[in-house]
Chains A and B, each alone.
Chain A
Amino acid sequence: MKNYLVRRLLALVPVALGVATLTFAIIHLVPGDPVVAMLGENAAPVDIVGMRRQLGLDRPLLEQYAAYLGGLAVGDLGESISYRKPVSRLIAERFPATIELAAAGMLVAVLLAFPLGIIAGSNPGGAGDLGAMGFAIVGISIPHIYLGPLLMILFSLDLRWLPLTGRGGLAHLVLPALTLGTALAAILARMLRQSLIRVRESDYMRTALSKGLSARSALVRHGLKNALTSVVTIIGLQMGALLSGTLITEIIFSWPGIGRLLISAIGARDYPVVEGCVLTFAITYVIVNMATDLLYAIVDPRVRIS
């Protein structure tokens, strides 16, 4: 297990290097000038040149790249051009909000997906299945940008139960988490349904029933646990979608997370912030998938981490 963890953590290095290189190349290749974005169109050319020099943007791209990698090697993500703060500090300030939102979105997804998936998978073709899968289709089809305002209208404007925007207590978290988690819930519910259908046809389930176990007990004690393996995989893989979903959700709900920071940094061509945020997302994704692999061993005792 220890060796496995070390190996996986070491694998992070080439992943981080690859992501850093790609992000650096893409953000520097797209048109747009951070200095003009910051100083404005009316800035004196001498100031634009001076600011470019001050920020090191006048150096050859390869030199800038080498400096960026050198900084990364010692954990320095550079300094934001527009915020004038260290990028690591900006990310540290915002990342908890994004993690909070992503975790709540995942919780919502799991809480919705499990009952729906079990209802659908227990009786394929039945009313419960049709209802649950109907929800799944709607859940997958509605984009965050539409679902968010719909939930706001219902729960904030009409029922007046929840606040519209911002980050605060648990009440502020409910609507963004629902917005973020619904699509994932739909995917997970469909996966769980398929797994349960497959599991129900397996020999061990027949054996369990022939031993006299009720269908409910057989499903809960034997079926569900086996069906979960594929669902756990999907949860890990969907973390990327969940993190990218935070970009839109944070904008809609004025949530002060890293997604919103990234969007505004792209607009301002704040290269260090864009690079830092993308790298953070990538590393989070890899770590979550590593955790998912570890979770297999708990869900399925046949899996050995080595």
Chain B
Amino acid sequence: MTRSGVLTVWMRQTITTARLRLVAQIGAALVALAGCGHYRTDRSPATIQVDIETSPTSTDPRFATDAISSRINELIFDSLVKTDRNGQFVGHLAERIERPSPTRIVFHLKHGVRFSDGRELTARDVIFTYDSILAPESMSAKRAGIEELKSIDAPDSYTVVMTTALPYAPALEMATEGIVPAGTPLPAKGTAAAPIGSGPFQMVGYARDEAARLERNPYYPYPSGAPRSILFKIVPDPTVRALELAEGVCDFSGNNIEYDVLPWLAAHQFLKVSKTPGTTYKYLSFNFRDPRLRDLRVRRAIAYAIDRNTIVNTILRGAGRVATGMLSPENWAYEGNVTTYTYDPAKARQLLEEAGYTADRSGLRGLRFEYKTTPEGARLGEVFQAMLQRVGIELTLRTLDFATYYADIQAGSFDLTSLQWVGINDPNSYYMVFDSHKTPPHGENRGYYSNPAMDRLVEAGMRTVDPEARKVIYAQVQQLAAEELPYVSLWWVDNVAVMNRRLVGFDAYPNGSFRSLATVTLSPLGSEPPD
């Protein structure tokens, strides 16, 4: 018998049934030691878990500008006004709002609103909040948003008066800042404590990159059966967020689940997938410093070459609506009767011919553009690349990490790119993105689009206080933008929320707000996946 034969015999002899049983017993013991065995999360039934993709950048409403922070802060801090479903501002802390002149707004505060430590919220807290944002040492990113504010005063404990130097139509947008108690220090070095607010919840714990825990503000009434606390867990991987929903660990995920897994999640009886019209606007942006892209015929050719319906139905799995402009149909200033560009590659080729870009034998026209994107946007870039190639335009994709990409876009170092605007409320956003004076770093006109007619309109829209007159102005803005194509409007992204059916009464807002998590109630039914 050879040595290897000896070893083989030994292996055969040793792996007996008895030994296998022993191995199984050791395995079972290890599993028991690890605390496994039908694992269940130990959180309280009155706690709901919401998975979010990134940490909020700030737990202080005076500094937070990112979407995640804003959505969490909205549950903790009250503001003078809030937006309704149509993007209209309505009183929140203010029970009554007066506009005695185009430059003055008077807010009459509700009585009896209390912070989570029991103190009553008064005009003094409002003034303090705005003063601390405006203080030079704060270096808050929010200062730019309230730069039109000339003064803010409190004639008495329940009245706040905002004054602007010039008539400023979107002035109410400045009244959406979350209010903190007077005396709240600026975020100090090394402290992670969140200020308290007067909203439905208070933050009781926050570990960056891990989780934020919210508990009820004892002075804020809530319906019986409503969750007493919310655990915002930071789960960066989209697949894992889907798995947590499927396991029943996570109760709610809003706008952060990949479209491909939605049908799989929808097949789980205890989960509900809700798709509602959203206001997030996806667009394709051009760099107007490139003379080829300054040619309207080229921009229109690109608009005609992109089959947006197919993209919405395939990549987005139907979770979007083909857009006509930045404002969605839910917005009070929306104008749908504008120039549109339905998919027409023949028309696109014709426009390119007219612009002098004739096709060679391979069908290409010597038009090559660089499309910059992030890893998450690469798939869409490939689709654009294929669609534009059909009309003879070559697109070179450059996929960059977000920080590099963002720096390049800010510096105007791109030919084409696609981004989205989240949370568009007031149509004054057109001023920020299309006015020729608002190029970086003064604004978000990153494509350096410049048209005196557009400048006149958006500046008039900003200074016209009468809503009806504004609506007329913004109808013209929307038509001009559709005609001139500083952006190709792609789609408005639906709000897609996946939630456990034990959450009853969730009311989706077009801007993706988490606001109604404060008013949902918990049903014992459908909370657990079947064993």
Residues of A within 8 A of B (CB): 30-33, 36-45, 47-48, 50-51, 54, 79, 82-86, 89, 119, 122-124, 126, 128, 148-149, 152-153, 156-157, 160-166, 169-171, 173-174, 200, 209, 214-216, 219, 251-254, 256, 260-261, 264, 266-269
Check B136 against A171 for contact (C-beta < 8 Å). Answer: no
Distance A33 CA – B405 CA, assembled complex (angstroms):
11
Check A254 against B531 for contact (C-beta < 8 Å). Answer: no
Distance A41 CA – B36 CA, assembled complex (angstroms):
47
Distance A266 CA – B233 CA, assembled complex (angstroms):
21
Question: Is B358 an interface residue when CB atoms closer than 8 A count as contact?
Answer: no
Check A256 against B207 for contact (C-beta < 8 Å). Answer: yes
Smallest CB gap from A149: residue in B: B239
CB contacts (< 8 Å) of B40 on chain A: these are 160
Q: Which residues of chain B in 1-57 are interfacial with respect to chain A, using CB atoms and an 8 Å cutoff?
A: 3-4, 6-8, 10-11, 31, 33-41, 54-55, 57
Q: Which residues of chain B in 142-193 are interfacial with respect to chain A, using CB atoms and an 8 Å cutoff?
A: 143-145, 147, 187, 189-190
Smallest CB gap from A90: residue in B: B208
Q: Which residues of chain B in 322-349 are interfacial with respect to chain A, using CB atoms and an 8 Å cutoff?
A: none
Given contacts A152-B243, A200-B3, contact A32 B406 (CB under 8 A): yes
Given contacts A84-B189, A123-B8, contact A269 B139 (CB under 8 A): no
Check A33 against B244 for contact (C-beta < 8 Å). Answer: no
Check A171 against B247 for contact (C-beta < 8 Å). Answer: no
CB contacts (< 8 Å) of B41 on chain A: these are 163
Interface string of B180-221 (1 = CB under 8 A from A): 000000010110000000000000000111100000000000
Distance A38 CA – B407 CA, assembled complex (angstroms):
13
A-B contact pairs, 7 of them (CB 8 A): A37-B403, A122-B4, A157-B243, A157-B246, A165-B244, A215-B6, A261-B209
Check B243 against A266 for contact (C-beta < 8 Å). Answer: no
CB contacts (< 8 Å) of B394 on chain A: these are none
CB distance from B425 to the nearest CB of A (A): 15
CB distance from A219 to the nearest CB of B (A): 7
Check A123 against B208 for contact (C-beta < 8 Å). Answer: no
CB distance from B154 to the nearest CB of A (A): 25
CB distance from A67 to the nearest CB of B (A): 18
Check A152 against B240 for contact (C-beta < 8 Å). Answer: yes
Check A214 against B209 for contact (C-beta < 8 Å). Answer: no
Given contacts A33-B407, A42-B144, A169-B34, contact A160 B8 (CB under 8 A): no
Distance A252 CA – B209 CA, assembled complex (angstroms):
13
CB contacts (< 8 Å) of A156 on chain B: these are 39, 243, 247
Check A36 against B207 for contact (C-beta < 8 Å). Answer: no
Given contacts A123-B8, A152-B243, contact A256 B210 (CB under 8 A): yes
CB distance from A20 to the nearest CB of B (A): 21
Partner of A36, one of B36, B57, B407: B407
Partner of B57, one of A82, A148, A163: A82
CB contacts (< 8 Å) of B410 on chain A: these are 36, 41
CB distance from B61 to the nearest CB of A (A): 14
Check A214 against B190 for contact (C-beta < 8 Å). Answer: no
Given contacts A47-B141, A256-B210, contact A215 B403 (CB under 8 A): no
Check A38 against B406 for contact (C-beta < 8 Å). Answer: no
B40, B247, B410, most chain A CB atoms within 10 A: B247
Smallest CB gap from A37: residue in B: B403
Check A267 against B144 for contact (C-beta < 8 Å). Answer: no
Distance A267 CA – B234 CA, assembled complex (angstroms):
16
CB contacts (< 8 Å) of B3 on chain A: these are 200, 209, 215
Given contacts A123-B7, A171-B34, contact A264 B244 (CB under 8 A): no
Question: Is B444 an interface residue when CB atoms closer than 8 A count as contact?
Answer: yes
CB contacts (< 8 Å) of A214 on chain B: these are 6, 10
Check A41 against B39 for contact (C-beta < 8 Å). Answer: no
Smallest CB gap from A46: residue in B: B136
Check B35 against A47 for contact (C-beta < 8 Å). Answer: no
Given contacts A215-B3, A215-B10, A269-B403, contact A47 B36 (CB under 8 A): no
Q: A156-B39, A256-B207 are in contact. List 9 more A-B contacts (CB 8 A).
A: A37-B403, A119-B11, A122-B11, A157-B247, A160-B531, A164-B249, A214-B6, A254-B237, A267-B402
Check B403 against A266 for contact (C-beta < 8 Å). Answer: yes
Smallest CB gap from B38: residue in A: A160
CB contacts (< 8 Å) of B411 on chain A: these are 31
Distance A148 CA – B238 CA, assembled complex (angstroms):
13
Partner of B145, one of A42, A124, A149: A42
Distance A149 CA – B190 CA, assembled complex (angstroms):
35
Smallest CB gap from B411: residue in A: A31
CB contacts (< 8 Å) of B208 on chain A: these are 83
Check B243 against A32 for contact (C-beta < 8 Å). Answer: no
Check A216 against B10 for contact (C-beta < 8 Å). Answer: yes
Partner of B39, one of A122, A163, A268: A163
Smallest CB gap from A219: residue in B: B7
Distance A42 CA – B64 CA, assembled complex (angstroms):
12
Smallest CB gap from B31: residue in A: A161
CB contacts (< 8 Å) of B404 on chain A: these are 30-32
Given contacts A152-B243, A162-B39, A164-B243, contact A254 B187 (CB under 8 A): no
CB contacts (< 8 Å) of A47 on chain B: these are 139-141, 143-144
Partner of A254, one of B234, B246, B440: B234
Question: Is B120 an interface residue when CB atoms closer than 8 A count as contact?
Answer: no
Check B39 against A39 for contact (C-beta < 8 Å). Answer: no
Check B247 against A170 for contact (C-beta < 8 Å). Answer: no
Check B403 against A50 for contact (C-beta < 8 Å). Answer: no
Question: Is B235 an interface residue when CB atoms closer than 8 A count as contact?
Answer: yes
Q: Which residues of chain B in 52-81 are interfacial with respect to chain A, using CB atoms and an 8 Å cutoff?
A: 54-55, 57, 65-66
Smallest CB gap from B13: residue in A: A216
CB contacts (< 8 Å) of A86 on chain B: these are 190
Question: Is B100 an interface residue when CB atoms closer than 8 A count as contact?
Answer: no
Smallest CB gap from A217: residue in B: B10
Q: Which residues of chain B in 233-260 are interfacial with respect to chain A, using CB atoms and an 8 Å cutoff?
A: 233-237, 239-240, 243-244, 246-247, 249
CB contacts (< 8 Å) of A162 on chain B: these are 34, 36, 39
Distance A38 CA – B143 CA, assembled complex (angstroms):
14
Given contacts A84-B187, A254-B210, contact A50 B247 (CB under 8 A): no
CB contacts (< 8 Å) of B207 on chain A: these are 256
CB contacts (< 8 Å) of B406 on chain A: these are 32, 36-37, 41
CB contacts (< 8 Å) of A84 on chain B: these are 187, 189-190
The 3 A-B residue pairs with the shortest CB-CB distance in the complex, in nearest-first order: A32-B403, A215-B6, A31-B407
Question: Is B401 an interface residue when CB atoms closer than 8 A count as contact?
Answer: yes
Given contacts A47-B141, A215-B10, A254-B235, contact A153 B243 (CB under 8 A): yes
CB contacts (< 8 Å) of B112 on chain A: these are none
Distance A214 CA – B531 CA, assembled complex (angstroms):
50
Question: Is B442 an interface residue when CB atoms closer than 8 A count as contact?
Answer: yes
CB contacts (< 8 Å) of B39 on chain A: these are 156, 160-163, 171
CB contacts (< 8 Å) of B143 on chain A: these are 43-44, 47
